[in-house]
Structure 1
Amino acid sequence: MGSTPRRRSSPAAARTGVVPPLLLLFAMLFWGRAAAYGDAQGAGMTALQKHASFFDRDGDGIVSLSETYDAFRALGFGIGMSSISAAFINGALGSMTRPENATSSRLDIYIENIHKGIHGSDTGSYDAEGRFVPAKFDEIFAKHAKTVPDALTSDEIDELLLANRVPGDYKGWVGATSEWKILYSLGKDKDGLLRKDVARGAYDGSLFHQLVQEKASGDK
């Protein structure tokens, strides 16, 4: 942020438009929840597991297609968008996280294995096990926050994505673009800036708990 502190507008209030379905393909990697499972098991979970558990509505460690749909609805998405998003997310991550002895639906996502859904061409802010890596996260802003310290513009996010692309890693390109575009859409402030503290909240899910709470408060 700049030298003069100023109040940042609510991420929920700053959200505009509708995120295209393609950008929701890997949204599972961004959102968490603070309900029973997360509260009880959070100390033993990685950052990636914490924010992935946002979709685990009944706290059993498994995210069904219907739970993903319900989570998107809780975040304020419409019926059509929530349905498409659930199909993309569970279709992509169900097979990647499924244990060998699993007997449930092949569309179910297993939070204990969510690290297996990590893609290439990313920032390295999660390690291979899904743990948060502060040095890599700080590096994002040290390298790319050129307009305002500790904040990213839309163009700077595009530069970040381009800088991290591994040649030929098309799946990784889609995943990284999806994640950052979603985060920018949900978290940018009234000046079109994604602040570092907001971005940090996405990695453990705290930002998205806040968005749901703000939506609930606004609906009252």
Structure 2
Amino acid sequence: MASSSDPSMETAAPHAAVTAERKLNPDLQEQLPKPYLARALAAVDPSHPQGTPGHDARGLSVLQQHAAFFDRNGDGIIYPWETFQGLQAIGCGFPVSFTLAIVINLALSYPTQPGWMPSLLLSVHVKNLHKAKHGSDSETFDTEGRFDPSKFDAIFSKYGRTQPNALTKDELNTMLKANRNMYDFIGWGASSLEWKLLYSVAKDKDGLLQRDAIRGVFDGSLFERLQDSKKSS
């Protein structure tokens, strides 16, 4: 919290307890250049000011990079069978992969179509992925698919109580509830599905979802690491 000598810089209001409970990082400006500037090509934080080392953005927005792992043939279109293959590659079992492939493509297909006609094959067009962004999320992705470092950092400053750079299962559930927009039932469900799936495949041996795993899911580099780990094991 900022010095009381400058009230305009305070991040907690005395009569709004939630602002003191969900803290912000007042030093982020010193830890990362221009943390308020949403990045189009790299998922950055103080430990990774240039983004993920060795991760090729290929000119894609960070949101597009997040989904590109599931574009198994690299043609810019993701079909349900590709989503299924990608989910299996990161360690999901057959029933989960099969069900989620249908659910995910069913939800994302129509908003990303280049025209008004729906796709009978439930194709998802990566170039239009920003049109499928849902509410009740962390807002780390802006509406154009850029990565907002300040919103990403707030995930941990607000909810990382056990460890400053990780989330427990309970802290994750607290965040999901806190991010809910009123009557946004689709957003509630989508956020819960995404984060709980992430927790199931990326939590560490202590049951913590580490900051770097979460950052890696935003630019898709986590999926590549999980795939490589599964292959090697």
- TM-score tier after normalising by the smaller chain length: 0.7 to 0.9
Q: Deviations over 1:103-123 (max 9, x none)?
A: 964510000011111111111
State whether structure 2 residue 198 is matched by structure 1 residue 183. yes
Name the counterpart of 1:99.
Answer: 114
Name whichever structure is richer in helix by fraction.
1
1-side partners of 2:140 and 2:192: how far apart? 15
Shift of 1:177: 0.9
Q: Deviations over 1:14-56 (max 9, x none)?
A: xxxxxxxxxxxxxxxxxxxxxxxx95xx242111101101111
Query: What is the root-mean-square deviation of aligned Cα atoms in Å?
Result: 1.8
Name the counterpart of 1:89.
Answer: 104
Shift of 1:94: 0.8
1-side partners of 2:230 and 2:126: how far apart? 26
Counterpart selection for 1:125 from 140, 146, 154: 140
Higher relative contact order (CA 8 A, sep 6+): 1
2-side partners of 1:77 and 1:146: how far apart? 29
Name the counterpart of 2:60.
Answer: 45
Q: 1:104 to 1:179 in 2, by over 3 A?
A: closer
So what's the TM-score if we normalise by structure 2? 0.72
Name the counterpart of 1:174.
Answer: 189
Counterpart selection for 1:157 from 165, 172, 181: 172
Unaligned runs of 5+ in 1: 1-37
Amino acid at match of 2:124: I
Counterpart selection for 1:58 from 66, 73, 81: 73
Amino acid at match of 1:87: I
Secondary structure of the corresponding residue to residue 146 of structure 2 = coil
Contact 1:187 1:198 (8 Å CA) reproduced: yes
Contact 1:98 1:113 (8 Å CA) reproduced: yes
Q: 1:185 to 1:123 in 2, by over 3 A?
A: same
Unaligned runs of 5+ in 2: 1-54
2-side partners of 1:78 and 1:161: how far apart? 24
Q: Percent identity?
A: 48
Amino acid at match of 2:217: A
Name the counterpart of 1:200.
Answer: 215
Amino acid at match of 1:143: K
Amino acid at match of 1:94: S
So what's the TM-score if we normalise by structure 1? 0.76
Counterpart selection for 2:94 from 76, 79, 96: 79
Secondary structure of the corresponding residue to residue 94 of structure 1 = helix
1-side partners of 2:119 and 2:205: how far apart? 44
2-side partners of 1:44 and 1:121: how far apart? 28
Q: Deviations over 1:55-114 (max 9, x none)?
A: 111111001122112222222333333222211111111111111177964510000011
Contact 1:90 1:109 (8 Å CA) reproduced: yes
Secondary structure of the corresponding residue to residue 69 of structure 2 = helix
